[in-house]
Amino acid sequence: MDLPPFDPALAALAAQVEDPAAATRAYLESVPAERRAKTKAYALGNYTLDLADGVFSTLVLVALLGFGVSRRLRDWAERLTRRKPLQTAAYFVPFFLLTTAIGFPLTLYRSYFREKAFGLLTQGFPDWLLDQGKGLALGSVIGSLVLMALYGVLRRTPRTWWIWGSALLVSFVVVLVALGPVFISPLFNKFTPVHDEAVRQEILAMARAKGIPADDVFETDISRRSDRITAYVAGALGTTRIVMADTTLRRCTRDEIRMIMGHEMGHYVLNHVWKGIALFAVTILLGFLFVRGAFGSAVARWPGMGIRGIGDVAGLPLLMALLGLFLAAASPVLNTVGRHHELESDVFGLEASQAPDAAATTFLKLGEYRDLDPHPLIELIFFDHPSGRVRIRNAMEWKQARAPRLAQAEARR
């Protein structure tokens, strides 16, 4: 977006307000009305597209079953090879390419034209298309490997597959978390050590103080796609990386950078990655349990789909549709856990940076593509991060509770 994220003069006045509620409102009002209206329009469109995408994807899966496309893909794979694992891969690759092609117009509108219209995408179409191609190739390979293993489990343990299948998917997630920063992310972005030595050493000192096993801080070229600010601490089992976007280094003050990195380090120190994996384990276990009951009923009710049983790869669209319905119903709970983790990390970042007003201006900058002040029901259903309003209010309450200590620290500067 070409509009400024907030008025610096009004934000400076908000920093002088002592009451948390009033300070929160002052910070929100430092965002120009035109900016707020544009962001709300962008957010409302996202909510609509989220719902439309879910409905459309489900209808596509149902159509593949109803018109016999899935059954014919399976039969083709069986003629191609006698090996069951290779049959699964031979089915999945054209299935994935077909569903991607069907959904491509919506992807093109949502991820390219709409992002361009709102000024959130700096990438040209050829580069955008190249990234889509990389994602397609990567999805084909990873998806084939996961499904070859999963359908091996489904065939061998038709009664207890939901237990062993869940354990398998959790294992794959752990592997992806560990390998992602080193082998997957570099396919899409360049990573170099942070060029600003002062910032690099300051972040490394923060990491060492918090027990994070990283010996460097990396800068990545997010600016090739957008002007959004971001950072993360990713990896596991010896692959931990501290990463900052070049946009964050360019657009944020030192206090904001300390707050952002303190927040991201909080996710690592507070074990949010492992807690998230544990939540995924419970969710996928319950989801597979739901599929276990519904899958057999659907196959018996509609024999024309030609699905032989849970171990038949032709039933993949049905499995995906049922699991998607379960995850859609569970999303408010999952989002609530996500918001709780984000607020915990915000507090960690505040303690690490001692910069609550920098936290507030950071949240205003994130408001370039997130509705800062949504309706509480919208936040409950769609937000996996707290709204800017909630996060700023949290920072202002933290500031009020520690006002004497912050005043002493400011006096020593």
pLDDT at 410: 66
pLDDT at 409: 63
**Residue ranges of domains in the chain, CATH in brackets:** 32-188+269-412 (no CATH), 191-268 (3.30.2010.10)
Each residue's pLDDT expressed in tens, for the chain with a length of 413 residues: 467 899 999 999 999 999 999 999 999 999 999 999 999 999 999 999 999 999 999 999 999 999 999 999 999 999 999 999 999 999 999 999 999 999 999 999 999 999 999 999 999 999 999 999 999 999 999 999 999 999 999 999 999 999 999 999 999 999 999 999 999 999 999 999 999 999 999 999 999 998 888 889 999 999 999 999 999 998 888 888 999 999 999 999 999 999 999 999 999 999 999 999 999 999 999 999 999 999 999 999 999 999 999 999 999 999 999 999 999 999 999 999 999 999 999 999 999 999 999 999 999 999 999 999 999 999 999 999 999 999 999 999 999 998 877 766 666 65
Side-chain-side CA neighbours of 169 within 13 Å: the count stands at 21
| CA quadruple 314, 316, 317, 319: dihedral sign | positive
Q: What is the largest CA-CA distance in the chain?
A: 78
Pair of tokens at residue 59: 């209808």
pLDDT at 411: 62
How many angstroms separate the first and last alpha carbons of the chain? 36
Contact 388, 366 (CB under 8 A): yes
- 321: CB partners within 8 A, 6+ apart: 58, 61, 62
